[in-house]
Amino acid sequence: MKHIIKKFVPRFVLRAYHFFLAYLAALRFGFPSKDMVVIGVLGTRGKTTVANLIWSCLDAAGYVAGLTGTANIRIGKSEKMNPFHMTMPGRFAMQRMLSEMRAAGCRFAIVETPSEGVEQWRTVGIAYDVAVMTTLYPEYLETHNWSFERCKEMHQKVFATLKKQPYKRFQGKKVPKTAIVNADIEEKDIFLKYPADAKITYAVKNVADMRATDIQKDAEGRVEFSVGPSRYMLGIRGDFNVSNGLAAIACASALGIRNDAIQKGLRQLTLVPGRMEEIKNNLGISVFVDYAHDAISLEAALSSLTKTKGDGRCIVLTGGQGGGRDKEKRPIMGQIAARYGEYVVIANEDPYDDDPEQIMEEIARGSESEGKIRGKNLFLELDRRNAIRKAISLSKKGDIVFIGGKGSEQSMMVSSGKISWDDREVVREELKAVSLQQ
């Protein structure tokens, strides 16, 4: 039905409809964001981790904060997994959560803000005070009419309207409108050109206001680094998270959070659900569930993991999405999985109305171009549980098993609709089954 509506209803009519709903939702709940300092986290990668790191820094400083994002929803100390299968839920759900944060005494609201959410006016009625730009990799979505330029425009829109939002007061002081931008992205200047009371850049490679130096990683993949005279350690894995840590430091510092609280906040966050989440077992293998659902994220995760594998092998499970997502990334993901994994298992992921077997075939062609052979070190499993079972069965003591694509998502989108699903729980069940057999 949605596809039929999109096909025959003019685009401007759909946009007007989305705007009206968003404004109505904000009105219904009394514009709750006006009573909190709102931090928008934008970008094509890293939003969830940055949002959780910022939350942890605020928590360490003793503030009650809320968070809405791809993986999880936090209202103060309370946390639940995101049940909506979208980063920014529908307008009424979004405003209801902000209202619940306000009622719980949250002084801050961290809102993961995807370009699709901006395109569909889900940001209407949300008064941003801080905008954080993480990364900007090419992304081609049906929502943006398959245009990366449109994707960039939507990200810019939050920065363009930042100074137009009403000012708020926190601890007796006016909260400055602040733009925080990753200086390692080529497009940094298009975000810094918009008016803001404060503009802060951060980077790992380029010159920036906050730059990471002396980056070191321990045997388990956790990193520490310096920013000026201060030393920071991340409680989560992956050297790629240094950039995410910098974003959190820049944001927390801009809000006046003490440096010792920032250091504590970065250390105490040891898990972002479904982001390099290790599933413990007694089989002697290291199993990780991760959200990596595109080529950039997949390579970053696998590159970091395989640096710590020692003599063990890496078994990679990956898949691809339908439903108006970028098709060009599929064979590239297959290539990356083949380069890092001794074995590759391609699984059904979120096909929506697309043909899941075709999606898998497109990924498989990428793996085959890297020398993988079906039935030998390349396997296609339409049933995702069977695919997870296969990946585990290929492993032996000392190996790494990487389950990519869904992370902590609580459902799977298929042609018949939404079905309940959690990779982490399925992995635990399959690991337990193997343990009982031994």
CATH number at residue 410: 3.90.190.20
**4 part of a folded domain:** no
Minimal CA–CA distance to 290: which of 221, 194, 374?
Answer: 221
Amino acid code (one letter) for 304 = S
Regarding whether 377 and 333 lie in a shared domain, the answer is: yes
Average pLDDT, integer, range 100-105: 98
User: Looking at the 3D structure of the chain, how many domains does it have?
Assistant: 2
Structural domain boundaries enclosing 118: 9-268
Cα 234 to Cα 65, 267, 280, distances in angstroms: 20, 5, 20
Average pLDDT, integer, range 357-375: 97
**344 part of a folded domain:** yes
| Among candidate residues 217, 241, 268, the one where a domain is terminated | 268
Q: What is the pLDDT of residue 436?
A: 77
**186 part of a folded domain:** yes
**Residues 6+ away with beta carbon under 8 Å from 174:** 167, 168
Q: Which of helix, strand or coil describes residue 274?
A: coil
Minimal CA–CA distance to 41: which of 108, 141, 138?
Answer: 108
Regarding whether 60 and 194 lie in a shared domain, the answer is: yes
For 44-138, strand residue ranges (E) read 65-68, 72-75, 78-81, 108-112, 130-133
How many Å apart are CA 61 and CA 338, to the nearest integer? 44
| Among candidate residues 224, 246, 268, the one where a domain is terminated | 268
Per cent of the chain over pLDDT 90 is 79
Regarding whether 201 and 289 lie in a shared domain, the answer is: no
- pLDDT at residue 119 greater than cutoff 70: yes
Q: What is the pLDDT of residue 235?
A: 96
Lowest mean pLDDT among 3-17, 32-46, 343-357: 3-17
**54 part of a folded domain:** yes
Regarding whether 317 and 298 lie in a shared domain, the answer is: yes
Q: What is the pLDDT of residue 10?
A: 67
Average pLDDT, integer, range 4-23: 71
Q: Output the six-digit token pair for 44.
A: 């094509």
Average pLDDT of every residue of the chain: 92
For the beta carbon of residue 388, count every other beta carbon within 10 angstroms. Answer: 24
Beta strands 400-404 and 314-321 are: parallel
What is the CATH classification number for the domain harbouring 200?
3.40.1190.10
- Please indicate whether residue 186 or residue 7 has the higher confidence score (pLDDT): 186
> Residues, the chain, total?
438
pLDDT in tens, 253-296: 999 999 999 999 999 999 999 999 999 999 999 999 999 988 99
Regarding whether 216 and 341 lie in a shared domain, the answer is: no
For the beta carbon of residue 29, count every other beta carbon within 10 angstroms. Answer: 19
Minimal CA–CA distance to 198: which of 154, 245, 161, 163?
Answer: 163
Minimal CA–CA distance to 274: which of 433, 94, 427?
Answer: 427
Average pLDDT, integer, range 151-163: 94
How many Å apart are CA 7 and CA 4, to the nearest integer? 5
- pLDDT at residue 166 greater than cutoff 70: yes
- pLDDT at residue 424 greater than cutoff 90: yes
Rounded to 5°, angle at Cα 286 from 53 and 212: 35
DSSP assignment, residue 167? Answer: P
pLDDT in tens, 205-252: 999 999 999 999 887 778 999 999 999 999 999 889 999 999 999 999
Residue carrying structure tokens 């989560």: 236
**411 part of a folded domain:** yes
**309 part of a folded domain:** yes
User: If pLDDT is split at 50, 70 and 90, which confidence band does 1 have?
Assistant: very low
**Residues 6+ away with beta carbon under 8 Å from 405:** 291, 292, 293, 317, 318, 319, 320, 321, 347, 349, 350, 423
Regarding whether 247 and 101 lie in a shared domain, the answer is: yes
**421 part of a folded domain:** yes
Beta strands 277-279 and 230-237 are: unpaired
Residue carrying structure tokens 């002697």: 284
Regarding whether 250 and 304 lie in a shared domain, the answer is: no
Regarding whether 91 and 62 lie in a shared domain, the answer is: yes
| Among candidate residues 268, 293, 327, the one where a domain is terminated | 268
Regarding whether 251 and 288 lie in a shared domain, the answer is: no
Regarding whether 394 and 256 lie in a shared domain, the answer is: no
Regarding whether 139 and 58 lie in a shared domain, the answer is: yes
Q: pTM of this prediction?
A: 0.92
Q: What is the pLDDT of residue 151?
A: 87
**1 part of a folded domain:** no
Regarding whether 288 and 253 lie in a shared domain, the answer is: no
Minimal CA–CA distance to 182: which of 149, 217, 161, 207?
Answer: 207
Residue carrying structure tokens 């959200």: 291
